[in-house]
Amino acid sequence: MVSFDIVSLYTNIPLAETIQIILDHLYKDRTPPTTIPRDDMKKLLEFATQDSHFLFNGKIYDQKDGVSMGSPLAPLLAEIFLQDFEKKHLPSFKEKGIVYWKRYVDDTFVLLDPKVSAKEIAAQLSQCHPSLKFTCEEEYTTINKDLSKEGSSQKKFTHKNQYTAEKKRSTEEKKSTPRIALSFLDVLVERQPNIGFESRKYRKETFTGLLTKWDSFVPKQYKYNAISTMVYRATRICSTYEALHDEFDIIRGLALDNGYPVAFVESIIRRQLNLIYTPPAITPTEPETDTVVLRVPYYGKPSQTYAKRVTAAVAKQYPLKQVRVVYDVTARIGQNFTTKDQIPTELKSGVVYEATCPQCKEQYIGKTCRHLKTRMNEHLSEQKKLLPPPVQEPEPKLNSKLSSKKVVGNHNLHMMMTRSKARMIKHETKQRKLLPKALTESANSQQQIETPNKTTTETKVHITRSKTRKKSSIKPDPKKLDPDEILQQGIPVDKTANQMIPKSALTKHFVSTGHAFTTNDFNILLSDRHRYRLLIKESILIRQREPKLNGTDRSIPLYIFPDGIPKNANKAYTQATRPPDNHTDTGMQAKFFSKQI
């Protein structure tokens, strides 16, 4: 007997080859093929496997090859790849001396020909594919009663009680018989020459015997399941009554060491044995019922009372509905510390955030189910569009000639500082085309009178009020109008800046006050994985803090706390739960309402 193990299977899976195996099975071997195009399926698989990343030691890495540990696709891809590996090389296993081959994920139970070596077989299997490396564990011979290896350390969960007392001498004498065994997963397999195989429960040397303590503040069902699972595994793994009896003794000792009552453990063992060896009674067929799972936070007896009342009310009003109560323990040890790298604040998702103006300290509360960094960029992108572009001074050029173009008016000079010269010329050309034909002809035939100090221009033109879009009560003299002055009055402001309507509340605040936000002004208040509960938390915080920058007072209707959670909620609850005076009308009303609840 030999057990083969694959070293680091998940991280060594060749993704390109595995994706090709999946595509060949879907579009070549399968009839009819799937309706999704092959190229689209390939892109989806590559996106789900190759384009993944992870955080380690404060840095983000891309997964180049292999699948991530803990990924939901890891077991599926590993099984697909190994099944294809076995399909290609299984015919050659018998030539290598492999008689029996059974695999569970990356662990394999193998029976070899006595003439071959297990290490040589492992080396040959490793050469079948460059991504796979096999290690082997061979069977061993022992004379210990529990089939443990010779020289192994003593179990740390040894106990002294009436169930684990020393056996009689006749039983201890069987200990001297050499036996052959091999551990595979949680099963200890014993090979008996010319007889067959026996199996029993196997525990590693590092097993400490620690279970959920009897006095732990958890639902009683948790404690029942802790013993029931061990009993069930014993009945499924142990192949003989003697091995099953020994395993029950170990379970009793473990339970007693963790404070469990003897009667509680014995009742669980009886119930499991009755389920196996007692034939089930024939029950009449009942109408199908719809099961609804109800998660109840566990706070002791009040949670159990609440669950019983809900179950009874549903059974009375809706007979075809069955409520399955699941107690959720809110306080867990893992909440106090973590072994993984903390996610950076800007990469957290499903949060309620707060943005505070750095100058006037006005606040805005929002929520997002995406990364906080994505939502912050959406807020700040509109603000960046409204910020004036930085003015860059032209670099001085040596031996440069004076420009032949004349600067007409101070407004055109300002436009050159804010926009490009080409855009200004193009805009001026369009404005000239809008002028009436008479003005254009008069501009070409204008008379210039040059003086030693300055140049004056005289123009004869007539412009209507509708064309100039000026509602002046005083009509200008057409003889004194200048086309350049008309252009100066008709030049509009930048359309891109005026036509953009800010959508974000932070951008509206920036437009009205000029106070700019930065990424340092955002802070996370609460977090939740469920979108509906996230909306409720956001609405409660908006009603409670009343931020001035929010356009609405809530994101979702609040039925329990329509005005938010009051600050003196605990004080009001204490006064409401105080025992009332039965001699007053108020006390009688409170007693009546408590009975109704």
State the Cα angle at 536 between 535 and 542, rounded to 5°: 90
Classify strands 290-297 and 321-328 as parallel, antiparallel or unpaired.
Answer: parallel
**What is the greatest pairwise CA distance in the chain?**
138
Q: 597 is written with which tokens?
A: 């609840």
One-letter amino acid identity for 268?
Answer: I
> What fold is seen in the domain 346-386+502-560?
GIY-YIG endonuclease (3.40.1440)
Separation of alpha carbons 201 and 533, rounded Å: 45
pLDDT given for residue 227 in this prediction: 94
- 261 and 224 in contact (C-beta within 8 Å)? no
DSSP E strands: which ranges in 168-320? 179-184, 187-192, 196-201, 290-297
Q: What is the DSSP letter of 26?
A: I
**Helices within 387-523 (DSSP H only):** 409-418, 421-434, 437-444, 465-468, 483-490, 495-499, 505-513
Separation of alpha carbons 541 and 550, rounded Å: 11
pLDDT given for residue 183 in this prediction: 87
Separation of alpha carbons 408 and 265, rounded Å: 100
Q: In this structure, is the dihedral angle defined by the CA atoms of residues 168, 169, 174 and 177, taken in order, positive or negative?
A: positive
Burial of 409 (0-12, 13-18, 19+ CB in 10 A): middle
Q: What are the extents of the domains in the chain? A: 1-118+127-132, 201-280, 290-332, 346-386+502-560
Give the rounded distance of the alpha carbon of 245 from its chain centre. Answer: 45
The alpha carbon torsion through 536, 541, 542, 545 (nearest 10 deg) reads 160
Separation of alpha carbons 365 and 535, rounded Å: 11
DSSP string of 322-349?
Answer: EEEEEEE----GGGT--SSPPPPGGG-E
Give the rounded distance of the alpha carbon of 590 from its chain centre. Answer: 45
pLDDT given for residue 310 in this prediction: 92
Which residue in the block uniquely carries the two structure tokens 């297990």?
Answer: 118
Separation of alpha carbons 339 and 370, rounded Å: 24
**110 by DSSP, 3-state: which?**
strand
Question: What is the pTM for the complete model shown?
Answer: 0.59
Q: How far is CA 25 from CA 20, 22, 573, in A?
A: 9, 5, 63
Convert the pLDDT of each residue in 439-466 to its tens digit.
444 444 444 444 444 444 444 444 443 4
Q: How far is CA 511 from CA 377, 384, 387, 500, 503, in A?
A: 17, 11, 10, 11, 11
Contacts of 160 (CB under 8 A, 6+ apart): none
Q: What is the DSSP letter of 577?
A: T
Separation of alpha carbons 432 and 484, rounded Å: 9
Which residue in the block uniquely carries the two structure tokens 């040596």?
Answer: 398
By C-alpha distance, which of 211, 210, 234, 208 is closest to 153?
A: 208
Contacts of 34 (CB under 8 A, 6+ apart): 26, 27, 41
Separation of alpha carbons 238 and 245, rounded Å: 9
Separation of alpha carbons 92 and 427, rounded Å: 81
pLDDT given for residue 206 in this prediction: 86
Bridge partners, 138 (sequence order): 2
Q: 477 is written with which tokens?
A: 């003299």
pLDDT in tens for each of the 597 residues of the chain? 899 999 988 888 898 899 999 999 888 877 787 888 889 999 998 888 877 777 777 777 777 778 877 788 889 999 999 999 998 888 888 888 888 889 998 899 998 888 888 898 989 889 888 989 999 998 888 777 666 665 555 454 444 444 444 444 444 444 457 788 888 988 999 888 778 888 999 888 888 889 999 998 888 999 999 999 999 999 999 998 988 999 999 999 999 999 999 999 999 999 999 988 887 777 777 777 788 899 999 888 899 999 999 999 998 888 888 889 998 887 777 777 777 777 888 888 999 999 999 999 899 999 999 999 999 988 888 888 777 666 555 555 544 444 444 444 444 444 444 444 556 566 666 655 554 444 444 444 444 444 444 444 444 444 443 444 444 445 555 555 565 665 556 555 554 444 567 778 888 888 888 888 888 999 999 998 888 889 888 888 888 888 888 877 777 777 666 665 665 554 544 444 444 444 433 333 333 223 333
Burial 97-133 (b: 16+ CB within 10 A, else e): bbeeeebeebebbbebeeeeebeebbebbeeebebbb
Q: In this structure, is the dihedral angle defined by the CA atoms of residues 29, 35, 37 and 40, taken in order, positive or negative?
A: negative
